[in-house]
Structure 1
């Protein structure tokens, strides 16, 4: 009985960890996309217009 509960909890934890890893990968992809967009912006032109 205890072993069955442990196996059940292990399955639940594995499922949750897998879901968190998938979310983490999506966040990482979004951050990289935003970073790439920022790298390609011409920030110097924006600064000169402010003065």
Structure 2
């Protein structure tokens, strides 16, 4: 993958199938889309938490 390493633990599929899934989910940059979105969500919640004073 361009841009870095991604470690995968696959259950119920082969290593090749897992690699293909990661490649298909990596649309922009070096991280698969679900990881990218999770990172954005966590950062957004942190900002929201700071604004709300929680």
What is the TM-score normalised by the length of structure 1? Answer: 0.49
Counting helix residues as a fraction of each chain, which structure ranks higher?
Answer: 1
Q: Which has the larger radius of gyration?
A: 1
Structure with larger RCO (C-alpha < 8 A, sep 6+): 2
